[in-house]
A = this chain, B = another copy of it.
């Protein structure tokens, strides 16, 4: 199988290297921006790639929605298979691309878009064919896991650890998508699409780690708890839930064993039981290895991981109930039904009674609207 690569950034270079070294796959041309064709294997023409009958598949690793979407659509219309590591693209345009793939008898695989080297979506798709997926989720963002791990192992404050993550290239100059949980949310959206034929695009909730302080960490460490940012999805009846929020887990939870910028994804199958997968969630070769894995699946004959029935739905997080640790200004304590509370200066650290994920996120949003600083995390 001969493969053209769309994009020649961190991941694109890794994919190209792996194609050159692969005994089973062949490297085609690489699409770069106009004016950047400084080597014979590079082209700036998607039309040339689409017209090249020797190309069987394209690997899209450009990121962003446009022009990635137009290029992938053109490739599919030309009968080329498409694999992509682009979660924003699949979250926004996955159903459209999947339909195009089916119409043109081409493949569309995107397991590299969630979990990097961790073969999560691939195994989830295989599992769902003959098993019932009860729930899915995990630590799907390596940047925030790196930051949480540092804050907890070294007592660092949020601002300092963010600077370090940026210096190491783990966090972008604009870290918003990572630290607010949006990146993890996009990944759980893809997981839901694969597991349930439902791609949620409304009603989604994401709380990140950008309100976490070193004092919060000290407090819950004194209770033997560790904070992780978890994405969760699942189906209750015909309703889908999907959200991201910090969770405080006990020391012997497998989540605690996820260090640095590693990812951990899991699903609970009715027959298989809990399946947990861990590995590097980002980086040149880990992500490239996932792109190449999808190409090998195409070679085997796999064509899609999103089924024809897949449709956009509104997520409903009103049925998911848990109790929360919450740190907020004292004056807001009566916004919640509390199990217990400790005053600390102007703040209160409290544990809520059971409350729905939806209500909790909404209440905190309302409090924050007044300018107050609040951190909250599910108690597992």
- Which of B130, B254, B272, B288 is in CB contact (< 8 Å) with A257? B254
B292 near A130 with CB under 8 A, answer yes
Residue of B nearest to A299 (CB): B129
User: Do A271 and B14 touch (CB < 8 A)?
Assistant: yes
Contact partner of A276 among B271, B277, B296, CB < 8 A? Answer: B277
Partner among B21, B272, B279 whose Cβ is within 8 Å of the Cβ of A272: B279
Q: Give the distance in Å from the alpha carbon of A302 to the alpha carbon of B28 in the complex.
A: 24
Q: Residue A43 at the B interface, CB < 8 A?
A: no
Which residues of B sit under 8 angstroms from A24, Cβ to Cβ? 129-130
A151 within 8 A of B: no
A119: contacting residue among B123, B130, B253, CB under 8 A: B123
- Against B, the Cβ 8 Å flags (1 = close, 0 = not) of A279-290 are 110010110111
Q: Mark A345-358, 1 if CB is under 8 A from B, else 0.
A: 00000000000000
Q: In the complex the two chains form, is B280's CB within 8 Å of A272's CB?
A: yes
Add 8 more A-B contacts to A256-B257, A300-B302 (CB < 8 A). Answer: A119-B119, A126-B296, A130-B292, A254-B278, A270-B285, A271-B288, A272-B285, A276-B279
Chain B residues with Cβ below 8 Å from A315 are none
Hey, which chain B residues are within 8 Å of A277, CB to CB?
A: 275-278
List of B residues within 8 angstroms of A126 by Cβ? 119, 122, 293, 296-297
Copies in the complex: 2
Tell me the nearest residue of chain B to A296, going by C-beta.
B129
Query: A175 within 8 Å of B by Cβ?
Result: no
Q: How near does chain B come to A5, taking the closest CB pair, in angstroms?
A: 14
| 8 interchain residue pairs of minimum CB distance | A301-B301, A272-B289, A276-B278, A271-B285, A117-B272, A271-B289, A254-B257, A22-B130
Q: Which B residue's beta carbon lies closest to that of A14? A: B271
Query: Could you tell me which residues of chain A, from 270 to 327, have a CB within 8 Å of some CB in chain B?
Result: 270-280, 283, 285-286, 288-290, 292-293, 295-297, 300-302
Please tell me if the beta carbons of B272 and A286 are within 8 angstroms of each other in the complex.
yes
| Chain B: CB-nearest residue to A132 | B21
